[in-house]
Amino acid sequence: MAYVTACGGGIIRDLCIGAHPPAGLSDWRYLALSVIAAGMVIAIKEVVQKLSHPVLLFDAVGLGFFAVFGAHKTLAYGHSMEAAIILGMISAVGGGALRDLLLNRTPVILQKEIYASAALVGAVCQAGGEVLGWSMAWVPWAAIVSCFGIRCLSLYFHWNLPRFAPDDD
């Protein structure tokens, strides 16, 4: 599950942009890093369980990094800013959605939480900054912080997206 979560969104993105074979399937380091990360979490399970919402914090950090890298790679392959924004978001949320589906759970992106929206903001900042020619020394960091900040603030203040009830006809 760690591998699916870590690489699923990137594999989807790579297939969409024409990066064949996808990096997550062709580079052994992706699998190795996933196994090492899962092993570390298992090894420090007791410490992790004592922290207040540690998984959500680590997930928010990863969300920002994956959104930014996904948008950047899409632009590097010559695709439009709009494609970079959408595929940056998919890079960030795709692996978690695949994991949830495999575990027979409702993916977070299909719930009311501000999750994919935070990734979308990070991808917009990255793609917009790159297209405008802004400094790549700070644009990725600003994009990551914006995504991370929105996700953390939404968790802290219990912000959610509006839900619309279906009309009863």
- DSSP letters, 19-62, are -SS-HHHH-HHHHHHHHHHHHHHHHTHHHHHHSSSHHHHHHHHH
- How many structural domains compose the chain? 1
Domain that holds residue 89: 2-156
Residue 162 lies in a domain: no
Residue 10 lies in a domain: yes
Residue 65 lies in a domain: yes
pTM for the whole structure = 0.90
Residue 164 lies in a domain: no
Question: Taking the chain (169 residues) in consecutive chunks of 10 residues, what is each chunk's mean pLDDT?
Answer: 94 98 96 92 80 81 97 98 99 97 94 95 99 97 98 94 75
